Structure 1
């Protein structure tokens, strides 16, 4: 599986527990931050408005993360993002976390393109063609 986007971040003290190890919940935050950077790199938004003024977003419908080695305060972590599945309405992304070449964790997040309306609430919809095209191109599809 080839990586479609890479980013790095430094572990902050507030992200660690008393042992100085990154609290597991922060890996979900790191996945979301990498996803946002990836979308921005493609000129896309996670939340915004369609040309007709309809609000849209990408709520999470499934996430997971497993851990192999600890990350600690001041570590620089590389997050490697890979699109593993794209449908007309959803996007599944795998995340791999490394410190140097040490594998720290693996995660996955599935999101669904939704439109939001005061009248109908939130409902899934086909993502706009420009989103599909840019995501497919980034994934080499």
Structure 2
């Protein structure tokens, strides 16, 4: 399943050269992941409150391919590519139309309230699979 999240580049997202500041792509894909999880029916606030479970980024491999600029309309595309006991692997792209501007592979881990890796709850695993 591929999830798409639309966003627009605001002035605050750009640097002195008028292009999107490199670190903001990480914010864009974070928003895309949050909306992907929400679309799957996973309530992260409830998961934390009731089970003490949160998702944390363990690793990001990113390629900056082309710049985005002020007022561009972008889409974040999120795809699940791997699911382990406590790990979720995603591929995410930031697109302007059909053009890929940024591409990342993101490894998430499921953490318990003690900060250690925890197995994905069965309900969450079912929704992701």
Name the TM-score class by shorter chain: over 0.9
Contact 1:94 1:107 in 2 (8 A): yes
CA distance in 2, matches of 1:19, 1:103: 20
**Residues 1:111 and 2:119 are matched in the alignment:** no
Contact 2:55 2:111 in 1 (8 A): yes
Equivalence map 1:127-138=2 (5 Å): 127-136=120-129
The answer to whether the Cα contact below 8 Å between 2:48 and 2:54 also exists between their aligned partners in 1 is no
CA distance in structure 2 between the aligned counterparts of 1:46 and 1:91, rounded to whole angstroms: 15
Contact 2:66 2:101 in 1 (8 A): yes
* TM-score between the two structures when normalised by the length of structure 1: 0.85
Q: Which has the larger radius of gyration?
A: 1
Q: Quote the residue 1:139 is aligned against.
A: none
Q: Aligned with 1:122: secondary structure? A: coil
72, 76, 79: which one pairs with 1:79?
76
Question: Structure 2 CA distance, aligned partners of 1:110 and 1:54?
Answer: 21
Question: Comparing both structures, which one devotes a greater share of its residues to helix?
Answer: 2
Give the alignment's TM-score, normalised by structure 2: 0.92
TM-superposed CA distance for 1:47, in Å, is 4.5
Partner of 1:16: 14
Which residues of structure 2 form unaligned runs of 5+? none
Give the whole-Å Cα distance in 1 for the aligned partners of 2:86 and 2:65: 32
Please state whether the residue corresponding to 1:113 is helix, strand or coil. strand
Report the count of equivalent residues: 129
SS in 1 for 2:58: strand
Structure 2 partner of 1:5: 3
- Could you list the structure 1 runs, at least 4 aligned residues long, displaced by more than 6 angstroms after superposition: none
- Distance in 1, Cα, partners of 2:48 & 2:13: 35
Matched, 1:68 2:65: yes
Q: Quote the RMSD (CA, aligned, Å).
A: 1.6
